[in-house]
Chain A
Amino acid sequence: MMIIFFESLLLVFGFTLLSLSLPRHYSQVYNERQQLSVRILWRLRISGYILIIASMILAINTWGVALGLVYWFAYATPVTFFLSLVFAFKPRWLAFIPHLFNLICHENTKP
């Protein structure tokens, strides 16, 4: 149960960071006019991938290769589905996640 929770958390964070590396979603969550700089883009993208791969490793480690992949895909789908709904209706909810990882704080403090 704990594992499932942790697994989903990793996936939520990972996919959020990854999606924020897309200009469309970035400006949805933050200021419309703020441009996504290349540096932040890659920071978000790489850390997103790291978290997602970490979650996959965790799943495989817990359930074995075959079942681990089944579980990983099974959890990734509702997580991404949920994120797409959040992006559509309440994108700002996700604003805090990059800050947790201290990824874009410098740029955002600028006026």
Chain B
Amino acid sequence: MKPRFRQSMNWLHTWAGFSFGWLLYFIFITGTVGYFDSEIDRWMKPEISVVNHLENQNEILTIGEQKLEALAPESPQWYISLPASRTPFVKIQWLQLANAETNTPRDWHEKFIDINTGETKEIRSTAGGETLYRMHYNLHYVPELMGYILTSLATMLMLISLVTGIVIHKKIFLEFFTFRPKKGMRSWLDIHNIFSVLPLPFHLMITYSGLLLLMGVTMSSVIDVRYGEGRENHRKFYNETQKDTKVQQFIDLAPDELSLQSVLNDANLRYKNQKISYIGLIDRGSVDEHYKIWFDKFDGIHLVSALEYRIKDERVEIETSTEKAGSAARVYDLFEHLHEGLFANIYLRWLYFLFGLLGAGMVATGMILWIKKKKKPSQSDKNLVMISIVERINIGVILGLPIAIAGYFWANRLLPLNIEHRIDWEVHSFFIALLASIGFSLFRSIKKIWANLLWFTAIVYMLLPLLNLVTTEHNIVSSIQKNDWLMLGFDLSMIFFGLCFVLAAIIMQSKNSLSPSIIKQSDFKPKTKLALKVD
């Protein structure tokens, strides 16, 4: 029984991984990049003026309030974001209600403020870091629901591959640290194992929590049964299950003194160790007008509670929400925060990023293994052609995604600022770059694709800081002078990634210059115990 069990697990591992491999690779890469969405956003909006000195929150709030007063006197919701560690700038946001007379729809608006001049700044229209990060679950071009379902399906198969992978790995502890280079298939399998086993806690967490996050979509029939179908009923479900435990208390503040300023001062006094990053004035002008405050920091994995100020019985009441009321919601919350990693400081954020890349590497090496195993001289000619096409597309996808992301950044700087649908074209550039690299791999001589594409990727990344220098007022030197650490960090990271690709290209070329017969031998004759597929 046992060998057959392992064989069927093997089969499941191979096909669960292979069938959605490219999509999983796409999800891993774009999701990983999403850990730096704010930083990317800052780079893609070079016009933002960064607050790089100790600022006076009250002054900033006054400026923001004046601007909101002038721009959105009618709006029911105002938000002002104060400079915080990952978002060192001032931004105002408001909700514009639908207006039948002027025919404007209900819409959110945002403006960045330069606190030196006190004026709003015109920012280029850009898809920004958020669109890039959202791609990993909405897949951009497909309808939203379709995107969610496809990514959930891919995630499910990923989870299956992980579990079956653990089952079929006979020496998970014995080969924990083992990588045997220059041994053909053996090395590929080793590297696949290293990419999967060492960050396994991360892989399991990210896959499982990814499934959980979309459970409202994938398991919607469960909600239908209890709460009924339709948006309204589902909202009821969310409101009921995601309820916070709240604590209310009255404070010594005269109701007529309640304002953005007094709320800021009071919250600062109450939470001396926390930095306020976001203030909202919600339901303006209605009975339920209230102020809301968010902090920059996380308390462990949980979001530091938000504070609400409102007038009740002619007194000012503050309300703190501590945690989710239900235990299921608390578990969901924990997984959501673990998945998003918003609590992570800069070191942990880079580690998250590294693990994401290892995950992408795991998928990529899995695909390469599949191809190498199929590519046997014993296959019929027709099959060999098919496998060769898959192999080419595979290389095109693996290197195409980094190229596509670079293309997205290039488009941000190069597309004319006043072009129509600029945001869309940035995203189109991403996919055009991806398709172009797949197209290139389809027609280039197979031995040269890796090296060619790696060199190309290295060049497009290395040139990004230069492009930044030419098209904007930002460059590495000026970023240091202005303490613009996000801009500097982005430029330096691009050079670093470029260097990594150079290294990879050099390794690839030296491997290609080996006598081809050696490679062939080791590639085509895997040891018997490695022949995972049972023919």
Contacts and interface: CB of A to CB of B under 8 A. Distances in A.
Interface of A: 4, 15, 19, 22, 24-25, 63-64, 66-67, 70-71, 73-75, 77-78, 80-81, 83-85, 87-89
B89 interface: no
B301 A67 contact: yes
A5 B354 CA distance: 18
Provide the main secondary structure of the chain A interface: helix
Given A77-B202, A80-B198, 14 more contacts: A22-B174, A24-B174, A24-B178, A64-B300, A66-B334, A70-B301, A75-B351, A77-B201, A77-B351, A77-B355, A84-B178, A87-B178, A88-B179, A88-B181
Nearest to B197: A80
Nearest to A74: B351
Given A66-B334, A89-B181, A78 B174 contact: no
A77 B362 CA distance: 14
Contacts of A15: 177
A57 to B, nearest CB: 17
B300 A73 contact: no
A84 B201 contact: no
Interface string B350-373: 011011001000000000000000
A81 B334 contact: no
B180 interface: yes
A43 B203 CA distance: 32
6 contacts: A22-B177, A67-B343, A73-B201, A74-B202, A81-B198, A84-B179
A77 B194 contact: no
- List the 6 closest A-B pairs by CB distance, nearest first: A88-B179, A73-B201, A84-B177, A74-B351, A67-B300, A77-B199
Contact of B194 (A22, A67, A75, A81): A81
Nearest to A68: B300
A67 B343 CA distance: 9
A71 B177 CA distance: 21
Interface in B171-208: 174, 176-181, 194, 198-199, 201-202
B347 interface: yes
A65 to B, nearest CB: 9
Interface in B308-349: 334, 338, 343, 347-348
A24 B201 CA distance: 25
B179 A87 contact: yes
A89 to B, nearest CB: 7
Nearest to A25: B177
Contact of B198 (A22, A63, A77, A89): A77
A81 B355 CA distance: 11
A89 B182 CA distance: 11
Nearest to A15: B177
A85 B190 CA distance: 11
A83 B176 CA distance: 10
Given A22-B174, A24-B178, A4 B347 contact: yes
A105 B348 CA distance: 38
A67 B341 CA distance: 11
Contacts of B351: 74-75, 77-78
A66 B355 contact: no
A73 B338 CA distance: 12
Contacts of B347: 4
Contact of B338 (A63, A70, A77): A70
A81 B176 CA distance: 10
B354 A78 contact: yes
Contacts of B300: 63-64, 66-67
B180 A88 contact: yes
A81 to B, nearest CB: 5
Contacts of A78: 351, 354
Contact of B202 (A22, A63, A73, A87): A73
Contacts of B301: 66-67, 70
Contacts of B194: 81, 84
A64 to B, nearest CB: 6
A75 to B, nearest CB: 8
Nearest to B347: A4
Residue among B174, B177, B338 with max Cβ neighbours from chain A (10 Å): B177
